[in-house]
C-alpha cells in the first residue's frame, strides 16, 4: 500500500459545482497535512494546511480524520481557474525530522 | 513571504555534462530543503533531504554520487547532476521549509533538464 493515496481522476465538473477530493495515508504517526495545487508544467503551490478541527479558506474546506487516516478537500462554486492537479502532502515524523510524502495528485477540470 | 528561487529554469545539454541547479530561499532561512524529480504525468518523487551544514539524506534508489547535494548556508542548496544522461531528463524542483519541521514547504519554480 502506498503511503499516500489519491484518486487520480480526472474530475470533470461544470462551473459552479462542488467537488470533493479524498486522500488516505498509511502511517499513523503522520504529523501534519497539506493540500497543494500544481498547474501543468509548474511547481506546486501551497493551497492550505489541514488542521485537526478542520479549516476553511474562502471556497475551500479541508478536513482531517485521524481515526480513519484520511484528509479531504472540498471546493465550492468551482471556477475555471480551479482546473489543476491537487496534491495531498503528509509529513511523517522520523528520527526527529519530518519528511513530506506526496500523493500522485487528483486532476480537476472545470468546464464552462 | 516564503519565496524560493530556483535557477536555471531550463537546461539543455549534451550527454556526459554535469549540471548544477541552485535553490535559494529569498526572504527566510531554510534549515531544511528538499529536492524532487517529476517525470511527465507522474507524481513528485522526493530525491533527498538537505539540511544546512550536514550531509544530505537520500531516498532509497537515489544515487548520492550521481546527484550531489550541498547545503552550505541557510539560504542556499545546490543539486549537481553529474555526467548526465538522457534518462536524467526530468523536471527537478526544490523546496524549502520555514521554521518548525511540521510547517509547509514552499517550492522553487523548478528546472526543466533535457539531456541530448
Taking the CA atoms of A17, A64, B41 and B68 in sequence, report the sign of the dihedral they define: positive
Minimum-distance CB partner of B102 among A32, A41, A105: A32
Distance CA A83, CA B67 (A): 34
State how far the alpha carbon of A79 is from the alpha carbons of A14, A30, A85, B40, in Å.
9, 32, 14, 25
Is the pLDDT confidence value at B113 over 90?
yes
Interchain CB distance below 8 Å, B103 and A87: no
- Alpha-carbon distance B95 to B32, whole Å? 9
With cut-offs at 50, 70 and 90, classify the pLDDT of residue B98: confident
Query: pLDDT per residue over B17-74, tens digit each?
Result: 999 999 999 988 888 899 999 998 888 899 999 888 888 999 999 999 999 999 888 8
- Chain B: nearest CA to A78, how far in angstroms? 23
Contact residues, chain A to chain B, C-beta under 8 Å: 31-32, 34, 41-46, 49, 87, 89, 91, 93, 97-105
B-chain residues near A105 (CB < 8 A):
43
Amino acid at each position: 500500500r502506498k503511503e499516500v493515496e489519491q484518486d487520480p481522476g480526472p474530475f470533470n465538473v461544470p462551473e459552479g459545482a462542488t467537488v470533493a477530493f479524498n486522500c488516505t495515508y498509511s502511517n499513523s504517526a503522520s504529523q501534519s497535512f497539506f493540500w497543494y495545487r500544481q498547474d501543468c508544467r509548474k511547481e506546486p503551490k501551497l493551497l492550505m494546511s489541514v488542521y485537526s478541527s478542520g479549516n476553511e479558506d474562502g471556497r475551500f474546506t479541508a478536513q482531517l480524520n485521524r481515526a480513519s487516516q484520511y484528509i479531504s478537500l472540498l471546493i465550492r462554486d468551482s471556477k475555471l481557474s480551479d482546473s489543476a492537479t491537487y496534491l495531498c502532502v503528509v509529513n511523517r515524523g522520523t528520527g526527529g525530522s519530518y519528511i513530506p510524502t506526496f500523493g500522485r495528485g487528483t486532476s480537476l477540470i472545470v468546464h464552462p | 513571504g516564503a519565496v524560493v528561487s530556483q535557477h536555471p529554469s531550463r537546461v539543455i545539454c549534451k550527454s556526459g555534462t554535469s549540471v548544477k541547479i541552485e535553490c535559494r530561499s529569498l526572504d527566510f532561512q531554510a534549515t531544511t530543503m528538499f529536492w524532487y524529480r517529476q517525470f511527465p504525468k507522474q507524481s513528485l518523487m522526493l530525491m533527498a533531504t538537505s539540511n544546512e551544514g550536514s550531509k544530505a539524506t537520500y531516498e532509497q534508489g537515489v544515487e548520492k554520487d550521481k546527484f550531489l547535494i550541498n547545503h552550505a548556508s541557510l539560504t542556499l542548496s545546490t543539486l549537481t547532476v553529474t555526467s548526465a544522461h538522457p534518462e536524467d531528463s526530468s523536471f527537478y524542483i526544490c523546496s524549502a521549509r520555514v521554521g518548525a519541521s511540521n510547517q509547509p514547504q514552499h517550492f522553487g519554480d523548478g528546472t526543466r533538464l533535457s539531456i541530448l
